[in-house]
Amino acid sequence: MNRLLFNTLFLFFLLSCSGEKNNKMEEFVTGAKIAGVNGIHFGPDGMLYAASVAGSDISVIDTNTKRIIKTYGLFDGVIGPDDVAFNSKGEFYWTSILTGEVAGFDKKGNKIIAGNPGVGVNPITFSDDDRLFVAQCFYDNGLFELDPRGTVEPKLILDDIGEFCGLNGMDWGPDGRLYGPRWFNNEVVSINVDTGELRKEASGFNVPAAVKFNSKGELFVLDTGAGKVFKIVDGKNEEIAFIDQGLDNFAINADDEIFVSSYSEGSIVKITQDSIEEILPGGIAHAGGLAVIDENIMIADIQSVKAYNSNDGKEAWNYKNTFRVSPIGANTAISSFGDYAILTSWVDNSLKIMKPDTGEIVESLEGLNMPVSATKFQDSIAVAMHGDKSITLLNFDGRAPRKLADGFLAPTHVVNYEGGLLVSDRERGELIKIDVNGTKSVLVDNLNSPEGIAIKGNSIFVFEGDTGEIKEILNDKISVIAKVLPGTPALSTLQPPSVIFNGIVAHNDYLYIAGEIEKILFRLSL
The structural domains of the chain, with segments of one domain joined by +, span 40-280, 296-525
For residue 347, is it left (φ>0), alpha (ψ between -120 and 50) or beta? alpha
Neighbours of 429 (CB within 10 A): 17
Which of 158-162, 373-377, 417-421, 506-510 bottoms out in mean pLDDT, i.e. has the lowest? 158-162
Query: How confident is residue 11, by pLDDT bands cut at 50, 70 and 90?
Result: very low
Q: What is the mean pLDDT of residues 59-83?
A: 96
State which H helix or E strand residue 94 sits in. Answer: strand 92-96
Which of 60, 42, 64 minimizes the C-alpha distance to 52?
60
- Residues with Cβ within 8 Å of 229's Cβ and at least 6 positions away in sequence, in order, are 220, 221, 222, 223, 239, 240, 241, 243, 250, 258, 260, 271
Same CATH fold, 296-525 and 40-280?
yes
Give 164-199 pLDDT, tens digit per residue: 899 999 999 999 999 999 998 999 999 999 999 999
The fold adopted by the segment(s) 296-525 is Neuraminidase (2.120.10)
> Is it the case that residue 4 has pLDDT exceeding 50?
no
How far apart are alpha carbons 479 and 130 in whole angstroms? 57
Mean of per-residue pLDDT scores for the chain:
92
* pLDDT tens profile 392-415: 999 998 899 999 999 999 999 999
Please name the helix (run of DSSP H) or strand (run of DSSP E) that holds residue 247, with its range, or none.
strand 247-252
Output 464 or 21, whichever has higher pLDDT: 464
CATH for the stretch 40-280: 2.120.10.30
Q: What is the DSSP letter of 76?
A: G
Query: DSSP string covering 97-142, please?
Result: TTT--EEEE-TTS-EEEEE---TTEEEEEE-TT--EEEEEBSSB--
Residues 84-109 have a mean pLDDT of 95
- What's the pLDDT score for residue 23? 67
Q: How confident is the model at residue 20 (pLDDT cuts 50, 70, 90)?
A: very low
Summarize the confidence of residues 431-449 as an average pLDDT. Answer: 97
Q: What is the pLDDT of residues 245-301, one digit of tens each?
A: 899 999 999 999 999 999 999 999 999 888 899 999 999 998 999 999 999 999 999
Q: How would residue 12 be classed by pLDDT, with cut points 50, 70 and 90?
A: very low
User: For residue 9, is pLDDT > 60?
Assistant: no
- End-to-end alpha carbon distance in the chain: 33
- Whether the Cβ atoms of residue 298 and residue 290 lie closer than 8 Å to each other: yes
Contact 182, 161 (CB under 8 A): yes
